[in-house]
Structure 1
């Protein structure tokens, strides 16, 4: 008899790959089942279909976010780790990008205060004079997120500009170090709220 926990893990791994490759709208339950090597009915049994499976992946993201950047991790190091997700968890970063492309507006309360702690930390840096007053902390968080995701969202620009394979480990490690260095030069070394994440769990499509 198949191990239920192992079956769930196989389905979740396959779903991450399928959603990452095609987005929520383009992903097919039959393709997920084929990737996992299970009967398609098992997806409904364990996850109540496509929407439930997507929610389960979102919960995985929340756990991964905590593992990547536990409380007290300096913001430059958080950003370095999130940038390295393009190397360590490329399907997950692609899924986050797809979620943005498919976004059509939502009233989901899960977005409320999503980065409130990080924004508050940046405001404190402004109050102490360590961050320029003309920077909007909320916009800065968005820009930092976009920066960490660039190897996934702008690979053609990277290849044309840097003349390298944007998916190579050598480039991704160097890019992650550069992201952290830039954050440090901006004076963000003491901003350590756990809310900033380019790998935050996607809202349901």
Structure 2
């Protein structure tokens, strides 16, 4: 039985999606340096040459994951909302997309120089926080750069400190219940900065 032309066209997209899912799992478990293209291919059930064909190799695959995260981020990161709601959204997203959060932690552990695009994006975020500060969302004596680092750390707390979460919340750090409880508290905490 022959497949319809539109079915054949969807196969590459399904294959790419399987590779990306396998890659995020592998990179989350082992970091960029420890992940192996052959293991990603095995996990995806594809020939490893397809990773080079579709993504140009390991680095291209990693960049594709970064783009995928940015697409996801655009869904939950409504920058027109309050800073508290925005921070809570990142906490919930870190819980829902734990493997992407682990990628960020691995990058931090590598202590490599950050990608210039990442640096530019973070500096834009600091400037956005500075505008929020001028609008009265948080006190003038707080450094927007320090606040950004604190918010990143808070969003990643369930991934970075699972043992702490279990000890003090008595909840699974990967559970939706913890994510919601912690997100609500982070939102309140940040909203209290308004005074």
Q: CA deviation at 1:127?
A: 4.1
Q: List runs of 5+ in structure 1 lacking aligned partners.
A: 189-205
Q: What are the within-5 Å matches in structure 2 for residues 54-203 of structure 1?
A: 54-106=62-114, 108-127=115-134, 131-187=138-194
What residue number does 1:191 align with?
none
Q: List runs of 5+ in structure 2 lacking aligned partners.
A: 1-7
Q: Is the 8 A contact 1:17 1:91 kept in 2?
A: yes
What residue number does 1:6 align with?
14
What residue number does 2:5 align with?
none
Q: CA deviation at 1:129?
A: 5.5
Q: Is the 8 A contact 2:91 2:183 kept in 1?
A: yes
Structure with greater Cα Rg: 2
State the alpha-carbon separation in 1 of the partners of residues 75 and 171 from structure 2: 30
- Identify the structure with the greater helix proportion: 2
What residue number does 1:36 align with?
44
Q: TM-score, normalised by structure 1?
A: 0.82
Alpha-carbon spacing, 1:8–1:34, altered in 2? closer, same or farther (3 Å) = same
Q: CA deviation at 1:9?
A: 0.8
Using CA pairs under 8 Å that are at least 6 residues apart, name the structure with larger relative contact order, 1 or 2: 1
State the alpha-carbon separation in 1 of the partners of residues 138 and 84 from structure 2: 14
Root mean square deviation of aligned Cα? 2.1
Q: CA deviation at 1:121?
A: 4.2
Q: TM-score, normalised by structure 2?
A: 0.86
Alpha-carbon spacing, 1:112–1:118, altered in 2? closer, same or farther (3 Å) = closer
State the alpha-carbon separation in 1 of the partners of residues 133 and 94 from structure 2: 31
Measured against aligned partners, the alpha-carbon deviations of 1:101-147 in whole angstroms (never above 9, x if no partner) come to 113224x4313432344433443454456533321111111111111
Q: Is the 8 A contact 1:86 1:167 kept in 2?
A: no
- Residue aligned with 1:38, SS: coil
